Chains A and B, each alone.
Chain A
Amino acid sequence: MQEKPILELEHISKRFPGVQALTDARMDVRAGEVHALLGENGAGKSTLIKIISGVHKPDTGDLRMDGQRVVFNNPREAQAKGVATIYQELSLYPELTVAENIFMGHAPRGLLGSVDWRAMRRRAEEILLSLNITDLGVDDKIGTLTVGKRQRVEIAKALSFNARILIMDEPTAALTEADVQRLFGIVRLLRERGVGIVYISHRLEEVFTLADRVTVLRDGHYVDTKAVREVTSEQLISMMVGRTIDNLFPKLPAQIGEPVLEVRNLWRKPLCKGVNLTLRAGEIVGLAGLVGSGRSEFAQTVFGFTPAQSGDILINGKRLDIRNPGEAMRHGIAYVPEDRGTQGLIRQMRLRENVSLAVLRSVSHSGFIDNRAEHELADKSIGSLQIRAFSGEQVVNKLSGGNQQKVVVAKWLAAKPKILIMDEPTRGVDVGAKAEIHRLISELAQQGIGVLMISSELPEVLGMSDRIVVMREGEIVAEFSREEASQEKVVAAMMRDAHSAVSAQGAAT
């Protein structure tokens, strides 16, 4: 471990339109180590590994391999230098065989440049064998394999490039326990062979079982790198969350009333597994969890977009069968989706047309849209949400991100909901607009609307919620009152930390 690192990153910054993804980040990877990369949603982990693997070019900073400065213009150049990446979504061709996938793009060539099939199959077998993989045939079609086996093919593919650096992005997220153990075996084998492994995981226990060192990122900044032996999970969690609560509009006190929404044992596979939740009038419930923990899926099931397979939804105490968003709306549920671009707005339409979309019937008279009513609705929305637009006739595409978000919110407020589900209400929104949206949520709760707020930003969840519910892998795993919640407790629950006692305490509520 004393040897010099194979890969070094220094002063890496990267900006995307509207977000500073990384600021002065650094990391180094040594031969024969497993280096865990930790951070909350949006901490910059993905951006960092995409810079290492040549997908993005950093705005500033250096990449060095064996002490030499390198520039990767595309993933291919990174691969040629021995950097291989295994993404969460596996990038294999389901119609092709194992051998063909392993050698996709660099198949051994025979005479006249044709593919040398025999050499390809033989070398594929050699690689699989070197990884102690014996349950895979090189002629199997990828489409017939389990996720775990496909992942092993990905690893074999990475090795076919003679990878010296292997980046694994949440490799265990979709695996069964047996496959996880096999994966660990392979990772250890590669470590012994001197491969440097960058390992991203949200499961702290994996970091402790597998990793040698760990680097923590927070809000795009480098926090620290530690030897795993020398840290506790509490320390790691506080390194990840040490954010201050700012840019927040203080939550206003609201009268909390009767339950408006009760969900009982709601199932919709794969990511909504027996969820129970109660939301009261005037209450803001924050739904926390990692990306992929099933929060949006749960919300969309309640909203009828992906109807439930089993379980009960009660509104004002009445059991209802919600089969589509239209029915959910009629029962007073509104859902402000996470992704404005694909789920919230009709971009080529005007502001006025977007705002009235969910209430077309109620702005219509005798089967035709009442122009004046629609204009009034648009003007009112512009006024009450302070949307920066010169009129309702503006095409929404030309508005800024925060104002687009307000248009989506306005659309749902027009439906006069009793239950408002907001999925990442302030994502991609600037600081000013964020505070305004927070103020609005508070005011809506004061008016007796039950608000379920899904958010990946802990300060937002902690600052706005009366109650915080944590989801993990499709289930609700913890619940905290506003008073007892802390960043550390919530994060611990999100990550199921076997090394920490806090999560057990928290789940007791």
Chain B
Amino acid sequence: MTTAAPTLGQPTRLSRSRGLASRFLVFATSQEFVLLLVVVLLFAVVGNTNPRYLAERNVLNIFNGNAYIAVAAVGMTMVIISRNIDISVGSLIGVLGTVSGSLAINGYPIWSSWLVPILLGGVVGAVIGFMVAYLRIPSIVVTLGLLSILKGGLITVTNGAWITDMPDTYFLAQMRTPEISLLGINIPAIPSPIVIMIVLTLLAALWMRYSPTGRAIYAVGGNAEAARLSGISEKRIIMTVFIINGLCVGIAAVLWATQLSIIQSTVPAGLELQVITSAVVGGVSIMGGVGTTIGAMLAAILLSAINSALVFINVSPYWFRAVVGVLILITVLTDLLRRRRTQA
């Protein structure tokens, strides 16, 4: 116990004002705050040029459109913080979405078409986690292999046939909360993906910040050897991270599958990159040990907002990818500079 060591000498300087000021500085320069600022600024500037950008319908679309990416980014955030990567998420979303649709059109109960893909995602996550933690295969290799297996397998099994004619009650992502009038304020109906995205992100953020396991994820990603020497089981943490990631991918897949009336039974191109981009732009360090799910969600929203803004200010949407690329480089660069400064 630290009390055991008697206090000798003068007490250590504990300047409260300096603490507060530095805390504010830390907050103001945090990736989350900067992202929030950029999103607000984007809405203000583009809305000023073209007021239709701020129409309720468009704003909801912006938040809604990338919600499933943000949900997958919650899992990706944990994976990257633990100093791993999962490049199979896009393929897994495609496969689990197809599973979901198939269950729905083959007469299984609707709830099972929502639940089974999520659980299946957890199982796949456990398999990845096992190979990474116990067989010591680097996660990029494991998920690269899985990506190919899932992609090839899906095409072989489904022949790329579209799934249509799902029952009306299937479309989870098209549902909305009821309009509520609370204390005279009308809260509009909110699409379910937005609700799921926000709830999941906040729950995950709280869990990562306040649970011993969450803390251990940061520790393993920050310095695996020191974490192991502190009695943390690296293997168990990596398993946990990949299982949670799998569950998140499952939820993302259900949202993706239930947003349109057609499921294409293919893997959406570049989806894993959008998920990883959200995490990285959201301030999750590719070097491990740093980041939050809130940052990743804000980044997913920002990407969606930029995509939409290009249309409203008459810029070719082909610029979108270039803009995203610039964002990634800026974020990684500031991350590196920040690290270099703290190491001085």
Contact = CB atoms under 8 A, between A and B. Distances in A.
A383 B210 contact: no
Interface string B12-36: 1111001100110000000000000
Interface of B: 1-9, 11-15, 18-19, 22-23, 210-212, 215-216, 218-219, 222-223, 225-233, 285, 289-290, 339, 342-343
Contact of B218 (A349, A358, A377): A349
24 contacts: A326-B232, A328-B231, A342-B223, A345-B223, A346-B289, A347-B342, A348-B222, A348-B285, A348-B339, A349-B289, A358-B230, A377-B2, A384-B5, A385-B2, A385-B5, A386-B8, A388-B12, A390-B14, A391-B14, A393-B22, A397-B343, A439-B8, A440-B5, A443-B5
A326 B237 CA distance: 14
A335 interface: yes
A426 to B, nearest CB: 16
Interface in A360-409: 360-361, 364, 367-369, 371, 377, 379-391, 393, 395, 397-398
Contacts of B22: 390, 393
Given A383-B7, A413-B5, 9 more contacts: A328-B231, A343-B226, A346-B218, A346-B219, A348-B342, A384-B5, A439-B8, A440-B5, A443-B6
Contact of B215 (A328, A353, A388, A416): A353
B231 A358 contact: yes
B225 A413 contact: no
A274 to B, nearest CB: 25
A326 B229 CA distance: 8
A18 to B, nearest CB: 14
Contact of B226 (A346, A410, A444): A346
A337 interface: yes
B226 to A, nearest CB: 5
A180 interface: no
A342 B222 CA distance: 10
A411 interface: yes
B9 A367 contact: no
Nearest to B236: A326
A362 to B, nearest CB: 10
Of B2, B9, B218, most A-chain CB atoms within 10 Å: B2
A346 B11 contact: no
Contacts, number: 133
Nearest to B11: A383
Given A369-B210, A385-B2, A348 B12 contact: no
A305 interface: yes
A82 interface: no
B210 A393 contact: no
B215 A398 contact: no
Contacts of B23: 393
Contact of A414 (B2, B15, B339): B2
A384 B7 contact: yes
A369 B212 contact: yes
A324 interface: yes
Interface in A167-199: none
Nearest to A388: B12
Contact of B289 (A348, A358, A387): A348
A390 B5 contact: no
A390 B15 contact: yes
A357 B227 contact: yes
Nearest to A349: B222
Given A388-B12, A397-B342, A326 B212 contact: no
A413 B18 CA distance: 28
A378 to B, nearest CB: 9
Given A346-B223, A346-B226, A357-B227, A384 B3 contact: yes
Contacts of A393: 19, 22-23
A75 interface: no
Contacts of A410: 2
Given A357-B219, A369-B210, A324 B18 contact: no
A447 interface: yes
A306 B23 CA distance: 40
A120 B312 CA distance: 68
Interface string A78-113: 000000000000000000000000000000000000
Contacts of A416: 1, 4
Contact of B229 (A343, A364, A389, A447): A343
What 5 A-B pairs have minimum CB-CB distances, sorted nearest first? Answer: A360-B212, A346-B222, A326-B231, A384-B5, A358-B230
Nearest to B222: A346
B5 A368 contact: no
Contacts of A419: none
B2 A381 contact: yes
A344 interface: yes
A325 interface: yes
Contact of B211 (A325, A335, A369, A384): A369
A398 B211 contact: no
Given A335-B229, A369-B215, A391-B14, A347 B222 contact: yes
A364 B212 contact: yes
Contacts of B223: 342, 345-347
Contact of A337 (B3, B229, B232): B229
A299 B251 CA distance: 46
Contacts of B12: 382-383, 386-389
